[in-house]
Amino acid sequence: MRAVLIVLDSFGLGAARDAEAFGDVGADTFGHIIEAAAAGRADSPERSGPLNLPNLTKLGLFAAHGDYAGQPSEGGKFEGLYGVAQELSKGKDTPSGHWEMAGVPVLFDWGYFPKTVPCFPKDLTDALIDRGNLPGILGSCHASGTEIIERLGDEHMKTGKPIIYTSADSVFQIAAHEETFGLDRLYALCDIARELVDPLGIGRVIARPFVGDNGEFTRTSNRKDLAVLPPSLTLLDKLSKSGHQVISIGKIGDIFAHQGTGEIVKAAGNMALMDATLEAMKRAEDGSLIFTNLVDFDQSFGHRRNIAGYAQALEEFDARLPELRASLKRGDLVILTADHGCDPTWPGTDHTREVVPIIAFGPEIPAGPIGERETFADIGQSIAEHLGLTPLDNGTGFLN
């Protein structure tokens, strides 16, 4: 009996009940991709036409979306448990979403930087320049990470000043050239920044290394997130402390600040992360949790407002499901979900406040609707029950 939790990072199923507070009324990551694809607006050299997700359809994904949108599908019979969950946490960011699904909603306010230029307080950037021995900094604004390196990458290479930016999330991001600035130096600078932003309640410092020249830059997979610790013990802590095996794949280790995350496996790209997940399933013991984050949906397509790319990534993920299902043993549980939305048709480049899907299946897992859940913590609670832990403080299981 094992559990596999796969997060399709940013795959929202429609505006949350509290979306108004975030300026996100009407956002719908999945719904808008379906619409765009049906209208031929998600065509690319790699894919075309209506969204084709045969395996997710069978499991109940479209039904979960339709039920929440008030357009229930007629008389469908599905192979998974399916529904959506609202978020209790105050932020629509990655740590909040992941911690909440692991039983710890974030009920305090993160620190954020204002939408001014400069956006960072002078004493903060002065301290970073001083302690990091820097000739200065570039940026100090809200930005999309790919746009800002295109704009400032050449100047960064010439001056040696790192590019510092934020977003609607509680983040302090430092972009620097892997070769001219150096990866180790960037990581060391992020360690200093982590200390400096701690008193401001900032959730994450993120290293954003890139390569290239002459206005043509690409980010590498050496991104590193320095997160604060979750405010209380998560499902991962409870599992690890009671001797259950935990295998964390992709960004999970960083998101939980390496607490309770067990064995850490890294891989670049959704398909390599799925390979790593299937590989882990071969060696995962009874009682274990495999926890995978598929970051491309968010990083490469949601934030980049790339509808065709997002559609293709969903189709590629769908195509891996038969393999995943074939690798399950009796008693295994798989849950597919997301941590927030990032509607590729929405203005700006930030996340969107949305409900997330919950699709659960396994050889002995029942099927049918689980409705609209009040918190992502229902996921962690269900896994805790399934793996025989004492109940978590938050969430109501949906397996029985």
Ligand X SMILES: O=P(O)(O)O[C@H]1O[C@H](CO)[C@@H](O)[C@H]1O
Binding site for Mn ion (CB under 5 A): 9, 94, 298, 339
Considering only 52-60, 166-174, 271-279, 328-336, which stretch makes contact with ligand X by CB under 6 A?
Answer: 166-174
In whole angstroms, what is the distance from residue 42 CA to residue 49 CA?
A: 7
- Part in contact with ligand X (CB under 6 A); list of ranges 167-175, 195-203, 268-276, 280-288: 167-175
Taking the least distance from each CB to Mn ion, the nearer of 296 and 339 is 339
Residue nearest to Mn ion (CB): 94
Residue count of the chain:
400
What phi and psi, each to the nearest 5 degrees, are found at residue 353?
-80, 105
Q: Of 83-102, which residues contact ligand X (CB under 6 A)? A: 94
Nearest approach, Cβ of residue 1 and ligand X (Å): 33
Instruction: Say which amino acid occupies 71.
Output: Q
Using CA atoms, how far residue 45 sits from 50, 63, 312, in Å, is 15, 29, 11
Extract the annotated binding site for Mn(2+).
Answer: 9, 298, 303, 339-340, 351
- Cβ at position 21, least distance to ligand X in Å: 18
CB of 151 to ligand X, least distance (A): 13
How many CB atoms neighbour CB 264 within 10 A?
A: 14
User: Under rule CB under 6 A, which residues in 197-216 are in contact with ligand X?
Assistant: 206, 208
Among 89, 140, 167, 240, binds ligand X (CB under 6 A): 167
- Does 394 participate in binding ligand X (rule CB under 6 A)? no
Q: What's the min distance (Å) between Cβ of 255 and ligand X? A: 10
Residues 6+ apart with CB under 8 A from 263: 245, 246, 247, 248
Options 34, 42, 157, 171; binder of ligand X; rule CB under 6 A: 171
- Number of residues counted as binding ligand X (CB under 6 A): 12
Binders of ligand X among residues 293 to 352 (CB under 6 A) are 299, 303, 349
171: partner contacted, choices Mn ion, ligand X, none (Cβ within 5-8 A by kind): ligand X
Annotated binding-site positions: 9, 298, 303, 339-340, 351
With CB under 5 to 8 Å by kind, the binding choice for 9 among ligand X, Mn ion, none is Mn ion
